Amino acid sequence: MPNLRVILREKIPEWRTELRELVSEHGENTISDVKLRQVFGGLRGVKGLLCNTSLVEPEKGLIVRGIPILELTDKIPEEIFYLLLTGELPDEPALARLQAEYNERAEVPPYVWDVLETMPKNSHPMVMFSLAILSMQRESRFKIAYDSGVKKPNYWESTLEDALCILAKLPEIAAGIYRMRFNKGPRIPRNPKLDWGGNFAHMLGLSENDPVFADMMRLYLVLHCDHEGGNVSAFTCHVVNSALSDLYYSVSAGLNGLAGPLHGLANQECLKFVLWILNRFSGVPDDEQIREECWETLESGRVIPGYGHAVLRVTDPRFTAFREFGLEHFKEDEVLQLVDKLFSIVPGVLKEQGKAKSPWPNVDSCSGALLHHYGMNEFEYYTVLFAVSRTMGMCAQAVISRAMMEPITRPKSVETGWLKEQVSGN
Ligand code: NMX
Ligand code: MLT
């Protein structure tokens, strides 16, 4: 049964040749201009990063290795990780092999639980999750390989080993944090017969006998897997890993970026917003009341969470997938109904305000409604779910960057005076 290393050993030389030829033949071609406003605009639109795991098209959304995300919603997360890494979906034996590799590496070192238990009881679950990963840095195979003098063309192999070791443990760590942080009782042991997403659903201990909950969790983990290379978490992970800090350092760093309210924390903020409105009106308010709430939020200088995007200019297909799942399984749910009403009202309000370049919902807009339906009311936990999934993308991107032997990332910064000189024609 071929494993991931064998497949990648076949593909990497071709990818390297393709890139080497491109750079040697066209290395001096200009591929993107930088406008002065982009320097002050979060580098939005500046094309200077390589990422082959996925692409985000402003008018189409996430495309994983050439496949639109809405065509991947029937897949399980293990298939997606394989796809991100290799560019192909696994056949049955390859999938079974990857699942076996996860099982072999799934045991969480006991010291991780000790570290988590000594943390203040009101620590944010994202701090616990990021710290749990960082605390395992001593396990890094990359670090051992590097210290023993492994050569640059082989860095990807121990990076892949770290990726598998981290991913294999995430469901148990994330579920353990949920149960510990929110007093849900003892941790539920892993069931090695279950798949990665099914096991996560099982260890959370919610809706245990409802197979639809496990399907929802698999969908959740598929939809958040990756979003090309420039988003805060992926880019942070990429930069840290480019210094040859191993994946434990790099993933933890990336997740610290995911924990920001303009990025992954928006899912927590979004459900908070929805529940606040429901509470204030003792149910789903009418359209006019919702419009007023939205304006009040904007006028107080806050953003409407779950709307707008740095790249997307249409309704996020991941939002569509979640919405359809919810409408198929529990369309009478009040939270989902309000999310749906917001979908029909917020874009109009944002258009009228005229600031946001995209008034459409992003992935974070609907995900909380689904979790809430299954009894996960602790919205502070939601970004951890995003993090479990996004780690697949960060890891796949890092393995490929090391396989392509990319150098340390180090763009040039400039001073305001230099910018002034450029525009004065001096
Ligand atoms: N509500 C209110 N104002 C908004 C929103 C929104 N949802 N989206 C953008 N704007 C504002 C933005 O704050 C900026 O205002 P100002 O000029 O005063 O600074 C202006 O519109 C232009 O911003 P854009 O160029 O449209 O957006 P940008 O690329 O800078 O930022 C986000 C993208 C996603 C950070 C932004 O749309 C936002 O803050 N959305 C709400 C938070 C959110 O849902 N984040 C999750 C993103 C997805 N993810 O999971 O990571
Ligand atoms: C997302 O999943 O929408 C993000 O990672 C944000 C982005 O792509 O900028």
pLDDT for position 182: 98
Q: What is the mean pLDDT of residues 246-271?
A: 97
* d(C-alpha 391, C-alpha 412), whole Å: 28
How many angstroms is it from 67 CA to the middle of ligand 2? 17
Alpha helices for 331-415 (secondary structure H)? 334-353, 364-373, 382-403
pLDDT for position 396: 98
Query: Does the C-beta of 390 come closer than 6 Å to ligand 2?
Result: no
Which among 286, 62, 246 has a CA at the least distance from the CA of 158? 246
271-285 pLDDT, tens digit per residue, is 999 999 999 999 999
Task: State in Å, rounded, how far the first CA of the chain is from the last one.
Answer: 64
Residue 4: pLDDT band with limits 50, 70, 90 = very high
Residue 193: pLDDT band with limits 50, 70, 90 = very high
Ligand 1, pocket residues at CB < 6 Å: 44, 262-264, 266, 298, 303-310, 355-358, 362-364
Query: Does the C-beta of 362 come closer than 6 Å to ligand 2?
Result: yes
Query: Does the C-beta of 216 come closer than 6 Å to ligand 2?
Result: no
**Nearest atom, ligand 2, residue 263 CA:** 6
**Is residue 238 flagged as an active site residue?**
no
pLDDT for position 264: 96
**Nearest atom, ligand 2, residue 363 CA:** 3
pLDDT for position 209: 78
Q: Which residues pair with 63 in a beta bridge?
A: 55, 68
Pocket test for ligand 2, best of 226, 231, 314, 319 (most atoms within 8 A of CB): 231
145-165 pLDDT, tens digit per residue, is 999 999 999 999 999 999 999
Residue nearest to atom 40 of ligand 1 (CA): 308
Residue 2: pLDDT band with limits 50, 70, 90 = low
Which among 122, 348, 105, 366 has a CA at the least distance from the CA of 220? 366
Q: What is the mean pLDDT of residues 122-126?
A: 98
Mean pLDDT score of the chain: 97
pLDDT higher than 60, residue 49: yes
**Is residue 364 flagged as an active site residue?**
yes
pLDDT for position 425: 75
pLDDT higher than 60, residue 300: yes
44 in helix, strand or coil?
Answer: coil
* d(C-alpha 368, C-alpha 379), whole Å: 7
Closest ligand to C-alpha of residue 61 is: 2
pLDDT for position 208: 75
Q: What is the mean pLDDT of residues 17-33?
A: 97
Residue nearest to atom 27 of ligand 1 (CA): 310
Q: What is the mean pLDDT of residues 126-134?
A: 98
Query: Does the C-beta of 266 come closer than 6 Å to ligand 2?
Result: no
Q: What is the mean pLDDT of residues 318-323?
A: 98
Q: What is the pTM of this model?
A: 0.97
Q: Give me 197's structure tokens.
A: 């997403």
pLDDT higher than 80, residue 190: yes
pLDDT for position 1: 53
* d(C-alpha 108, C-alpha 268), whole Å: 27
Query: Does the C-beta of 365 come closer than 6 Å to ligand 2?
Result: no
Q: What is the mean pLDDT of residues 358-373?
A: 96
**Nearest atom, ligand 1, residue 364 CA:** 50
Residue 422: pLDDT band with limits 50, 70, 90 = very high
Q: Give me 156's structure tokens.
A: 């990807």
% of the chain surpassing 70 pLDDT: 99
Task: Provide CB contacts within 8 A for 414, sequence distance 6+.
Answer: 39
Catalytic residue among 124, 309, 372, 373: 309
Cβ proximity of 349 and 360 under 8 Å: no
Q: What is the mean pLDDT of residues 134-149?
A: 98
Sheet holding 54-57, edge to edge: 54-57, 61-64, 67-68
**Is residue 263 flagged as an active site residue?**
yes
* d(C-alpha 247, C-alpha 257), whole Å: 15
pLDDT for position 3: 87
Which among 367, 368, 316 has a CA at the least distance from the CA of 70? 316
